[in-house]
Chains A and B, each alone.
Chain A
């Protein structure tokens, strides 16, 4: 911006470096150099040694004041932040214990309902209902079976050999495979860390945590299954057992299957029932006009028939 085409002298044309280069090369305010040049011109002597003028002293006092105030301010804010955090933690714990108490109460009430129902129905119908509830996971069950125990390996290792053998942590698909193969081996009821699995349960990742249904579970993971006596042998031969044994060998994750007598598996939370509903408009009378459009091309609203 400083070059003027009308200046004539080519030597006066100065290419100023860009701002950042200038900033890195010469961080001192140019005003000091200007002031020094001015002084040299007028012949005024510079202040000797380390003495500074009174105005500068005031500024230095101000600087110390500013720093102290900023420090005070920052340290004063810290307890407030910690307080808010611990308050939130306390709230979470309070809500969790509330939830636990309420679900215990729900279990009690459910038992009560079951008792009343059995008293009302009586006999074989009640027994049939109990069997159905045990099978679908809605009732508490007790029996012999196996416990599959999975424990995360030491966490420092996975960065070293993650390339060829995978992480040493239990991941959700491990639990899925174990549960599926236990079903396949004849299990009648399965629970992971006390969370009963039903036909609609999910085992999935949410960030770092594994969710069974909607409850997070943390290691060590114990998959308890109630089933016939042959279940253990059949499970040991299953694919997930073989895979997990190999993984355990390679990564330091621990995997163990043991027999367990008299296991008690809790009931699963009451499922939210979803009923099939008729679609609203397009198929009010699907059989009213036959042959005109053909059954193959008509949009079928009942695609998800379960």
Chain B
């Protein structure tokens, strides 16, 4: 429950502060969000599996965001940024789907 409150606090903070994102970082923001979502759904599933681990969660969140941004950055430098970000989104999307399916099985037994 406190996690949901923290999430809402983060959203409120983002809307209230409304920081300007530097132009150089703008292309990586959506990918970073998707990567963060992957880490969060992984964490929720682990919680339901009763194997949640704080360190693992934090590390996977940070590394997901950084690696996704790095891959897109590399792709931009190599001229395949669009394709690589599609690849990143596909892989993360598959993982999110799988984890959400597991969460669904936990919650609804179906």
Which residues of A pack against B, CB within 8 Å? 23-24, 26-29, 31-36, 39, 46-47, 50-53, 55-57, 59-74
One digit per residue, 1 when the CB lies within 8 angstroms of any chain A CB and 0 when it does not, for chain B 66-77 equals 000000000000
Question: Is there an interface contact between B10 and A32, defined as CB atoms closer than 8 Å?
Answer: no
Contacting pair A72 B18 (CB below 8 A): yes
Which residue from chain A places its CB closest to the CB of B14 in the assembled complex? A68
Contact count band on B: 35 or more
Contact B58 A68 (CB under 8 A): no
Q: What are 27 A-to-B residue pairs whose CB atoms are below 8 Å?
A: A23-B94, A24-B98, A27-B94, A28-B46, A28-B102, A29-B60, A31-B59, A31-B60, A32-B56, A36-B51, A50-B2, A52-B54, A55-B54, A57-B3, A60-B6, A61-B10, A63-B10, A63-B40, A64-B7, A64-B13, A64-B14, A65-B11, A67-B10, A68-B14, A70-B32, A72-B14, A73-B26
Task: In the A-B complex, list the 10 residue pairs whose CB atoms are closest, starting with the nearest.
Answer: A64-B10, A68-B14, A27-B98, A36-B51, A35-B53, A53-B54, A61-B10, A27-B95, A64-B11, A32-B46
Measured CA separation A32–B3 after assembly (Å):
19
- Nearest A residue to B13 via CB reads A65
Closest to B40 in A: A63
Q: Does B80 contact A (CB under 8 A)?
A: no
B53 touches A36 (CB 8 A): yes
Residues of A within 8 A of B99 (CB): 27-28
* Known contacts A23-B91, A66-B32; A33/B14 CB under 8 A: no
Query: Is there an interface contact between B13 and A61, defined as CB atoms closer than 8 Å?
Result: yes
A73 to chain B, nearest CB (A): 6
B30 lies within 8 A of A70 (CB): yes
Known: A35-B56, A68-B11. 18 other contacts (CB 8 A): A23-B91, A28-B49, A28-B99, A32-B42, A34-B56, A35-B53, A36-B50, A50-B1, A52-B2, A52-B47, A52-B54, A53-B54, A55-B55, A56-B43, A57-B2, A63-B37, A64-B9, A64-B13
Establish whether residues A52 and B21, one from each chain, have CB atoms under 8 Å apart when the complex forms. no
Which residue of B has the minimal Cβ distance to A20? B94
* Interchain CB contact under 8 A, A59 and B33: no
**Cβ of B60 to closest chain A Cβ, rounded Å:** 5
CB distance from A59 to the nearest CB of B (A): 5
Contact B95 A50 (CB under 8 A): no
Q: Which of A47, A68, A70 contacts B10 (CB 8 A)?
A: A68
**Closest approach, in angstroms, between the C-beta of B64 and any C-beta of chain A?**
9
- Does the CB pair B51–A50 fall under 8 Å? no
